[in-house]
Amino acid sequence: MNLLDRIRGPIDLGKLSLQEMSLLAAEIRAFLVENVSKTGGHLGPNLGVVETTMAIHRVFDSPTDSIIFDTGHQSYVHKILTGRKDFSNLRSKNGLAGYPQRIESVHDIVESSHASSSLSWADGIAKAYRLTGQTDRYVVALIGDGALTGGMAWEALNNISDDNDRKLVIVVNDNGRSYAPTIGGFARYLNDVRTNKNYRRLYAASKKLFYKFGLPGRLIYSAARGAGKGIFGTFAPRGMFPNLDIKYIGPIDGHDIAALEQALQQAKKYGSPVIVHTITQKGKGYEPAMGDDADQFHAVGQIDATTGKALDVKTKQSWTDVFGDEIVEIAAKRDDIVAVTGAMLIPVGLKKFADRFPNRVFDVGIAEQHAVTSSAGMAFGGLHPVVAIYATFMNRAFDQVLMDVALHKAGVTFVLDRAGVTGPDGPSHHGVWDLSLLQLVPGIRIAAPRDSTTLKEELNEAVKIDNAPTVLRFAKGTAGEPIIAIKRLQDGVDVLQVGNKQDVLIVSVGNFAELALSVSEILETSGVGCTVVDPRWVIPVANSVIELAGQHRLVVTIEDGIRVGGIGTRVRQEMRSAGVDTALNEVGLPDRFIDHASRAEILEETGLTAEQIASDILAQVSGTKVPHAKQI
């Protein structure tokens, strides 16, 4: 039996020697590479936190002590150590989630993968433990992978440092990266700490003291400064968090289990908020993930475990690729176009833009609110910012879109990648709320391209609007084959199909155009005539959509957002305002958190298949009176 087979829960770690702990770390890395290479998932971040997670579970008593991961994708090792070693269906339906999930284990606390929230969670839990008399319980927040670039983390630190009567330990996993190298002045400071030769000399000396005398890191630093030897250089431990009244231990080698345990034990003794600063290497122990292409191993699909090469080689352009190419073409013609993103330059398709126009791209870190308001400022100054982020992360900056961009009539274009059902990343990553949220914003215009051609068209149209926010949203995956319109109406609505009879008007949103045409085909074979339109710009609702609604027996909207407050709701409101009383059926996603599974499985489960939608429509049109018809 290898060591990993003996670990059924965190308590088993306490039975191992330090040498066995090192061997276990190697086994865990081998386990991660072997399993994640088959399923896909966040490989690099988890390879980097093996020893840190092991040390946390050795020193603290989960679940009595609450452990929070930020971001949540670095929790695979935690899952392994808490008895979840079946990774065969990782991120698949009925398999392990890619993030902490309460239904899986009592050891999981925070499920959301939206970064920078852990310290606020930790602050609240620690306050609750104190006020309810649970004074023996600790709260540990492991924060890293770029999460400290988010403003919410610093708001929490400000409050945590104002109240010292709590058992709260903040472990900073400093690997210098999020999806890519972490940006900003704080990141540069940490990089100086990692690379400063004085730190390296001090660490070598302090490591000996750890093993010889068991001295905590903070005392070592104090001794080094007091000795006046000059080896400490120009930085001080508390310099990383200036003006915060909070204890600090570190920097610690995040792959040295003995040093980690010493530091965490010392932190535990304080009985008040303390920061333990660990330095780790993302992708540690897996050669492909530590080379020039390391960022490509942050999250992987299926790969060859030996070489790291992708097995699911892409043959067609993704929506992201189409956007990335087109924005470069636009920027080449317009000097005022700038690009903004939040720690995801490569995932949102801005790498080519950055290579071509390095001075016109701004990666603000995991700080979506700042990205949006800063863009409003850039628009005021004469630029046209294109803010590219995931649709789900747009939720975090809604107030800034409303009050900073829209209220000030700023010409800012938001490009929302991964809109709709995204699949294996689960509830916090599905981009299903943007349509409901953003259509509340006065003056906003929202486009949903159905294919690569309309994506290019609508992006060009969006950046020409300089007095209001515009939104372009598209899905994850391949853009698919072009869908040619029969005709384009005067207000820009594309007619994709006209049936022999005007029974049902199907209004498709974005890449659901293909689904809408499949529904229409089934209905036509059942004798129900269909008109299928793609509004292209779904907000505001085009007049021609309302006119067509009055010419049909039933209107059906099909969208990849939640039905509550969705595009169907808006069409219904506009129909009512225009005195059109045609029945309307809103087809979309339910207003609940959708678990991880493949996109196809989720669509089937929620009834978003051509067969199910057509069946529902057939049942609905039975006996419906046909209003007067007019040729399109």
The residues assigned a catalytic role are 282, 368, 396
The 3-state secondary structure of 97-133 reads CCCCCCCCCCCCCCCCCCCCCHHHHHHHHHHHHHHCC
Q: Are 21 and 257 within 8 A, CB to CB?
A: yes
- Kindly give, in sequence order, each residue whose CB lies less than 8 Å from that of residue 4, ignoring residues fewer than 6 positions away: 24, 27, 28, 31, 80, 85
Rounded CA-CA distance 371/388 in Å is 10
Take residue 131 and report the two structure tokens written for it.
């006020």
Q: Are 401 and 303 within 8 A, CB to CB?
A: no
The 3-state secondary structure of 526-548 reads CCCCEEEEECCEEECCCHHHHHH
Q: Are 142 and 68 within 8 A, CB to CB?
A: yes
- Kindly give, in sequence order, each residue whose CB lies less than 8 Å from that of residue 13, ignoring residues fewer than 6 positions away: 7, 21, 24, 54, 57, 58, 81
- Kindly give, in sequence order, each residue whose CB lies less than 8 Å from that of residue 332, ignoring residues fewer than 6 positions away: 356
State the CB neighbour count (10 A cutoff) for residue 227: 10
- Kindly give, in sequence order, each residue whose CB lies less than 8 Å from that of residue 395, ignoring residues fewer than 6 positions away: 114, 433, 434, 437
Beta pairing partners, 275: 170, 248
Angle, vertex CA 581, rays to CA 576 and CA 582, nearest 5:
120
Rounded CA-CA distance 594/140 in Å is 28
